[in-house]
A and B are shown apart, each in its own frame.
Chain A
């Protein structure tokens, strides 16, 4: 599903943010990506949703090398990827409902039925009373939930969530991670970047740890749980 081979990333002429990262997330797997602030989690995800090209190395998504994709192919590939951005990136002039429906509008799936899906999802994330609120009038946690709903509305094959629970209380955080599990059960590959390690420990999913731009721990499965279908390798090993 996601495959990095010796990926190096530097912004401009800056230092190497990621140094020869190799990893693979299999279809249908559920991964946590952890690491200190500044370790490069968001940068790694940015390459997965094609917002950033690697400075060196190869990135493949859905079994397909993503270098040299046309703009059209890139757009169509992105429709299969749901992203929760660390800074939410909601459109401030659209209501919560319209923000969530945006991926459907873009891919031409909007309609009466999807309107109902949007409302159901909004209720599910606890925003039934805020459907027509504009993002600037919502709290950080509420905005984050809108961002999460927008990422999952299109039932993506790959869900990339960057610190999706940062602004949520523990109860809501667990609820949303369960939402991701439900998606995972119907086949979505889930990758969650977070530095909330106590939350990570509550779930039996493999953890990939980044440290100083390198994969420090590759796909460690918490003790007492069955190994998931995944492989993660470091420095071209494996």
Chain B
């Protein structure tokens, strides 16, 4: 009936078989939301490191009080002369402090920590210099010098980010699986509880899809309700995590600042949960009924 809303032929809203379904879906959506937040922030962190460090070398000259400024100048000059190097920029101690601050926090840097001298080098990513040769040459000019292209470190970070994303995906898949099994179970209970009504519907000409529709509509509304509840609970959790992370104020840690389109993934979670719930109910009904004589 189009305009007039009439009662369901199978009174699923009156029995207890689906009572806990919204709560269970809520828990699942909650876990999925946390997994999604973890994966998103981890991949954003990796991206930040990646773009921040591409085409950049850091040359570290030990803070040796005995070494004079000439040695440092020689290193700078050698760098400038190297093919593939675009820019050479020695950092004063203020810049170094600023650089380290997001990594270590400002508390660490107020003391008289002996800081090495750093040279920021920009290289041509299309024709990069030979890092190993460069390292050897600088070692000769100023023993203890280091050329760091951050690559090894960056690779490990990217591995970590990818692993976290994968884990989040596994969590989501498991959550969907658990939800489906649960819905199948609840649906079977409903089918058994309403066996006689369903038999009657069949006897007056209902097809299996008609019966399935009764169940899937009910499951959709339960799933949506549960999904929204789960999301509503997940948001304060994420907000809290974000606050705690911001308080630490270190660039090493991921942030939980999401862009608009990233927030829309979270809004899609309850919708997806409702669809999964609905589909699981439909498949269960159709498969169970098809087995009837």
Contact = CB atoms under 8 A, between A and B. Distances in A.
A24 B89 CA distance: 104
A111 B2 CA distance: 8
Interface string B9-43: 10100100000000000000000000000000000
A106 B201 contact: yes
B205 A79 contact: yes
B203 interface: yes
Interface pairs A-B: 5 shortest CB-CB: A79-B205, A93-B11, A78-B205, A75-B207, A106-B206
B70 interface: no
Contacts of B292: 71
B204 A83 contact: yes
A36 interface: no
Interface residues of A, number: 24
Contacts of B259: none
A117 B7 CA distance: 19
A103 interface: yes
B192 interface: no
B14 A93 contact: yes
A93 B11 CA distance: 7
Contact of A91 (B2, B9, B290): B9
A107 B210 CA distance: 10
24 contacts: A71-B290, A75-B207, A76-B205, A78-B202, A78-B203, A78-B204, A79-B205, A83-B204, A89-B200, A89-B203, A91-B11, A93-B7, A93-B11, A94-B9, A98-B6, A101-B6, A102-B201, A102-B204, A103-B204, A103-B205, A106-B201, A106-B205, A110-B1, A150-B204
Contacts of A101: 6
A42 to B, nearest CB: 13
Interface of B: 1-2, 6-7, 9, 11, 14, 196-197, 200-208, 210, 289-290, 292-293
A75 B205 contact: yes
Nearest to A93: B11
Contacts of A78: 202-205
A53 interface: yes
A51 B204 contact: no
Interface of A: 49, 51, 53, 71-72, 75-76, 78-79, 83, 89, 91, 93-94, 98, 101-103, 105-107, 110-111, 150
Query: Which one of A53, A76, A91 has the highest number of Cβ atoms from chain B below 10 Å of its Cβ?
Result: A91
A79 B205 CA distance: 5
A220 B292 CA distance: 39
A167 B13 CA distance: 32
A71 B208 contact: yes
B204 A106 contact: yes
A94 B8 CA distance: 8
A51 B203 contact: yes
A103 B202 CA distance: 10
A50 to B, nearest CB: 8
B205 A107 contact: yes
A235 B6 CA distance: 49
A75 B7 contact: no
Contact of A75 (B6, B9, B206): B206
Given A53-B293, A91-B197, A91-B200, A105 B207 contact: no
Contacts of B197: 91
Given A53-B293, A106-B210, A98 B7 contact: yes
Given A89-B203, A91-B11, A111-B1, 10 more contacts: A53-B293, A78-B203, A78-B204, A79-B204, A93-B14, A101-B6, A102-B201, A102-B204, A106-B201, A111-B2
A105 B208 contact: no
Contacts of A103: 204-205
A103 to B, nearest CB: 5
Nearest to A107: B205
A78 B205 CA distance: 5
Nearest to B207: A75
B59 to A, nearest CB: 77
Contacts of B9: 91, 94, 102, 105-106
Contacts of B208: 71, 75
A76 B206 CA distance: 8
Query: Which one of B205, B207, B292 has the highest number of Cβ atoms from chain A below 10 Å of its Cβ?
Result: B205
Contacts of A102: 9, 201, 204
Nearest to B201: A106
A62 B9 CA distance: 29
Contact of B207 (A49, A71, A93): A71
B125 to A, nearest CB: 64
Nearest to A151: B204
